[in-house]
Amino acid sequence: MAATDVTSLGEFEHMVLLAIMRLGDEAYAVPVRDEIARCTGRDVSRGSIYITLDRLETKGYLKSRLADPTPERGGRAKRYYELRPRAVDALKESRRALVALWRGLEAALS
Partner 1 sequence: MRDQVPLVLRLFARFIPGDLREPIAGDLHEEYLAMRQRRGAVRADGWLWWQSLRLALTFRWERAAHGRPLPPIGDELRGFGSMWDGLRQDIAFGARMLRRQPGFTAVALLALALGIGANTAIFSIVDAVLWRPLPYPSPNDVLSLGEQRPSENRVHGPVAPADFYDWRSDNAAFAAMAAIEPGPANISGAAEPERVRAITVTAEFLAVIGVKPARGRDFTREDEAPGRTLVALLSDGFWRRRFGAAPSAIGQAISVDDEPCTIVGVLPAAFWWTTTPDIVLIYPTQANAAASRAQHSMDVIGRLKPGVSFEQARADMDTIGKRLSAEYPQTNAKHAPHLYPLQQALVGDVKPALLVLLGAVGLVLLIACVNVAMLLLAKAAGRGREIGVRLALGAGRARLVRQLLTESVLLAITGGAAGVLVAAWGLSAFRAIAPASFAALPGIAAVSIDLRVLGVALAVSAVTGLVFGAVPALTASDQKLTSALQEEGRGGSAGARSARVRAALVVAELALSLVLLVGAALLLVSFKRVLDVSPGFESQNIVLAPVDRQSGTNADVVTFYQSLLERVRALPLVDAAAVASPLPFVGVDGRTGFRIEGRTTQSPIPVRARPRLISPGYFATLGIPLLRGRTFTDRDVKGLPDVVIINAAAARRYWPDDNPIGRRIDVTFADPPRWYEIVGIVGDVKHAGLEQDTDPEAYMPHAQAPYSGQARRLTLVVRTRTPLATMAPMLKNAVIEIDRNQPVGAIRTMEDLIAASVAPRRLNLWLVGAFAIVALVLTAAGLYGVMSYLVAQRTREVGVRMALGASPASVLVLMLRQAGAMMVLGIGIGLAGALALTSTLSSLLFGVTSKDPAIYAGVSLLLALVALLAIAVPSSRATRVDPLTALRDS
Q: Does residue 86 touch partner 1 according to CB under 8 A?
A: no
Q: Does residue 28 touch partner 1 according to CB under 8 A?
A: yes
User: Judged by CB under 8 A, which stretch of 14-22, 24-32, 84-92, 93-101 contacts partner 1?
Assistant: 24-32
Please identify, using beta-carbon distances, which residue of 58 and 110 lies nearer to partner 1: 58
Ordered DSSP codes for 27-91? -SHHHHHHHHHHHH-----HHHHHHHHHHHHHTTSEEEEE---BGGGTTB--EEEEE-HHHHHHH
- For the chain, the distance separating the N- and C-terminal CA atoms, rounded to the nearest angstrom, is 37
Q: Minimal distance in Å, beta carbon 55 to partner 1?
A: 8
Separation CA 37–CA 39 (nearest Å): 6
Among 14, 55, 84, 86, which residue interacts with partner 1 (rule: CB under 8 A)?
Answer: 55
Q: Minimal distance in Å, beta carbon 95 to partner 1?
A: 28
| Residues forming a β-bridge with 64 | 81
* C-alpha dihedral sign at 37, 21, 81, 78: negative
Q: Does residue 75 touch partner 1 according to CB under 8 A?
A: yes
Q: Does residue 66 touch partner 1 according to CB under 8 A?
A: yes
Residues that bind partner 1 (CB under 8 A): 28-30, 45-48, 50-51, 54-55, 58, 66, 69-79
